[in-house]
Structure 1
Amino acid sequence: MSTTLVAVCLLTTGCAGRDDTASAPRTAPPASAPHGYVAGAQEKAEQQSRLVLNAPRPGDTRVLDLITGKVHEVSRTAGTAELTTDGRFGYFHTAGGTHVLDAGAWMVDHGDHVHYYRAAIRDVGELPGGPGTHIRSDAAVTAVTDEDGRASIYRRASLEKGKVGSARTLPGTHAGAVVPYAEHLLGVTDDGTVAVYDREGKRATSPDARCEEARGDAVTRRGVVLGCADGALLVREDDGTFTAEKIPYGSDVPEAERATAFRHRPGSDTLTAPAGKRAVRVLDVSERTWTRVKTGPVVSANTAGEGSVLIVLETDGALHGYDIATGKQVSQTKPLLTGAPETGTHGNAAPVIEVDRSRAYLNDSKGKRVYEIDYNDNLRIARTFDLDIEPALMVETGR
């Protein structure tokens, strides 16, 4: 069923930071704060998903609240080459630096239970480093690795209060992103050595492991996955000890077909990555196995994991669902994109597939819309959100 958005909240200078939660009075924490209490935020029983959307050329930016269906207009960020997220903050990578937007929706995973929060949307400030900068976070710190491999560590609490704050710099340079994990920082040095640091930036005991030509990373419940020339490296922590396990491709893989950028549902142990022009490589971290799924010409791909289909946007503008175990196509939509889809070349942003626990989202830039897909029901179009901008860049927060 198609839904046209009818409510737009303007977050201008006069009402910056407002949404449906901002009108609530800011109260001091109770004398006996309940478990999970966060000042200035509302705790909810379900995931509070929001999409951050950007049209790079004019710089128009919107936040689409998937719970209320409202679209929030926020300050413009022009010239965005890449939009990334850590689950709460949107990072707009431009030539002049990285603008930080608090999307006001996030979750806190305690392992045996999860807390979901919503709060006001607000601008935070600027981080150094433009296109090519990697930003990774955990509950305590945010690591910013610039295109030259220098990593700076920021306190997460400052960002949550609306300030960038000061940074601590790690020694040396790194290939790919420095990743916060298990109260430490994990990186790969330029010579391919896996390095572990404490949060003060001092070297800690590291596993005896290497990752040649490191590109791509993902944090899963099983550990941190690093993309390497010969496959993946899974780095795990147990009672303060870090170990590393190689998950090889099993055969020689041409450079153009290596997994160098992973996409997955946050919390899932099933990762996807394009494998050349007509295939997708799927990594089951739990089983330590790779599967190469032959597809049509790939624009983007993702999966919810745990028995769900592999969702592939192909150059025909349609979404195709593949059974990962058999490689057979099991579902397909009509063409959804207006015009031929961009492929990410020549400075154009390719459409992306964002996946959460129940739905997937696809941005149609030229059509000025976002599709909500029920991937458990043969890729059924559940809702269509019409917009007043071309959402060339999209990330999902609140997961």
Structure 2
Amino acid sequence: MDPTVRGRATPWAPAALVLTATLLAAGCSGQPGAGPEPTATESSAAPHGYVEGAREAAEEQSRLLLGDPDTGASRVLDLVTGEVQETAPVPDATRLTTDGRFGFYHTARDARVVDGGSWTVDHGDHVHYYRAAIRDVGALPADHGAEIRSDAAVTAVTGRDGRTGLYDRTELAQGGTRPLRTLGGTHAGAVVPYAEHLVALTGDDDSAQVTVYDREGGRVATPDATCVRPRGDAVTRRGVVLGCADGALLVRAENGTFTADRIPYGRDVPEKERAAAFRHRAGSDTLTAPAGERAVWVLDVTDRTWTRVETGPVLAANTAGEGAPLLVLESDGALHGYDIATGRHASRTKTLLTGAGEGPTDASGPAVEVDRSRAYVNDRAGRRVYEIDYNDDLRVARSFDLDIEPGLMAETGR
């Protein structure tokens, strides 16, 4: 690892850490000026936000899950300490997804689950950051094309045949992979846990109906909305976004009532230029998706508007949200920054990808992961990950040398 002097602060200043942790604990106690809550060993009652076996921290505990598609080797890179930990190999993994804590290595047979050991619990007016041991959980029955979505309580695994199994996320955290139940019927696209319910699309690819289930699998709502050729989904603070042929649907819950509002493109968009897979910073309401080979869609969920940004040839894209640049990794191997409002090209890194323009552009190709202050780009052929300060003209803050080819990458701790 070769961090620069101005990278993400890895050793915390002790006085600042103690002060921040004290304020956080006081804010969660519900008693102004009460001071830190007792630890589990100091009181028989666990403090608010306590998670057994985890240590609470004062900032995000970001980690990168990394996999080598050729050898099956996997690693976890701790972005706070800079340390790299070897995890159980996953031969034949072709895709890596995450729910913010668990990583899912997709193979043709199953999805291997790795507990990244870092996560965020958002209580709305405050958040808790946790770190715990990294460990292999086991495997979930899932085909290569399965879609896996989670919230704090449940994980939904939807196979290519549309059938969906539910798993207790607390049990996953304890190393168990026993299913809770299987939802009846089949679904078009992923079943998405949201607002203590499950948002799904029932029907076929040509005309799917928005359907909401309770956690027991009972149908509780069918908002009057259909989605033609559904592709892609994302959970935002405003609701669940479902990609459709004419734009997107925003499914929201308010006072126990579910509604679905359409966010149209406002123009005829050829199928190959439609948004098919969304990327965004966790907690952000700004989504990105490739718009063909040389452009990127930006969906502002708050304003309910689509913006098409013309770029160079797109390998991957992402953004931190409002006020941040659109980040586009292009075929020249550099990360480019664009002003979303104007479409103006604003900044560019040096060439980051070894053998730029020659590597794969599928799920085992390069990715752009974004958190609250940094972006990360994996250079598979160069066996390296770059950390980019997107608030400082895309400055390369740190680079991490690895002993594997990190063709698969996902960030946890968010």
Q: TM-score, normalised by structure 1?
A: 0.92
- Report the equivalent of 1:234: 250
In 2, the alpha carbon distance for the partners of 1:344 and 1:204 equals 43
Aligned mate of 1:171, from 184, 193, 196: 184
Partner residue in 2 for 1:268: 284
Q: Return the alpha-carbon distance in structure 1 between the equivalents of residues 357 and 184 of structure 2.
A: 42
1:354 is aligned to 2:330: no
**1:23-63 CA distance string (max 9 Å, x none):** xxx97683122111111000111000000000012111000
Partner residue in 2 for 1:78: 91
How far does residue 301 in structure 1 lie from its aligned partner after superposition? Answer: 0.4
Is 1:188 the counterpart of 2:201? The answer is: yes
Q: Does 1:385 align with 2:400?
A: yes
Instruction: Write the letter of the residue equivalent to 1:95.
Output: A
Deviation readout 1:344-385 (Å, 9 max, x if unpaired): 55x672200000000000000000000000000000000000
Amino acid aligned to 1:394? M
Q: Alignment partner for residue 143 of structure 1, among 156, 181, 199?
A: 156
C-alpha deviations, 1:299-334, integer Å up to 9, x for none? 100000111000000000011100000000000111
Distance 1:368 1:112 in 2: 40
> Deviation of residue 178 (structure 1)?
0.1
Tell me, in whole angstroms, the C-alpha distance in 2 between the residues paired with 1:342 and 1:73.
28
Distance 1:183 1:312, change over 3 A: same
SS at match of 1:164: coil
* Deviation string, structure 1 residues 132-163 (Cα, Å, up to 9, x no partner): 10000001100000111101111111101111
Match of 1:13 in 2: none
Distance in 1 separating the partners of 2:358 and 2:164: 32
Deviations 1:75-102 (A, max 9, x none): 1111001000000000000112110000
Shift, 1:200, TM fit: 0.2
1:368 corresponds to 2:402: no
- Letter of the 2:76 partner, please give it: V
Cα gap change, 1:165 to 1:227, in 2 (>3 Å) = same
| Residue 223 (str. 1) matches residue 239 (str. 2) | yes
Structure 2 letter corresponding to 1:379 = L
**259-268 or 161-170, which moves further after superposition?**
161-170
Which residue does the alignment assign to 1:304? 320
1:161 equivalent among 171, 174, 177:
174
Structure 2 residue aligned with 1:313, among 312, 324, 329?
329
1:185-230 CA-partner distances (Å, limit 9, x unpaired): 0000123100100000010122111111111000000000000010
Q: What RMSD in Å do the two structures reach over aligned CA positions?
A: 1.6
Structure 2 residue matching 1:282: 3-state secondary structure: strand
Tell me if the contact between 1:299 and 1:341 (Cα under 8 Å) persists in the aligned partners.
no
1:3 corresponds to which residue? 3
Match for residue 32 of structure 1? 45
1:133 aligns with 2:146: yes
- Matched to 2:199, the amino acid is L
Cross-structure match for 2:23: none
Q: How many residues align?
A: 377
The one-letter amino acid paired with 1:357 is R
Distance (whole Å) between structure 1 residues aligned to residue 280 and residue 335 of structure 2: 16
Write out the 4+ residue segments of structure 1 that deviate beyond 3 Å after TM superposition.
Answer: 26-30, 341-345
Structure 2 Cα separation of the partners of residues 54 and 130 of structure 1? 18
CA distance in 2, matches of 1:190, 1:343: 37
Gaps of 5+ in 1: 5-25
Aligned to 1:257: 273
User: In the aligned structure 2, how far is the partner of 1:64 from the partner of 1:56?
Assistant: 17
1:327 pairs with one of 330, 335, 343: 343
Q: Which amino acid aligns with 2:90?
A: T
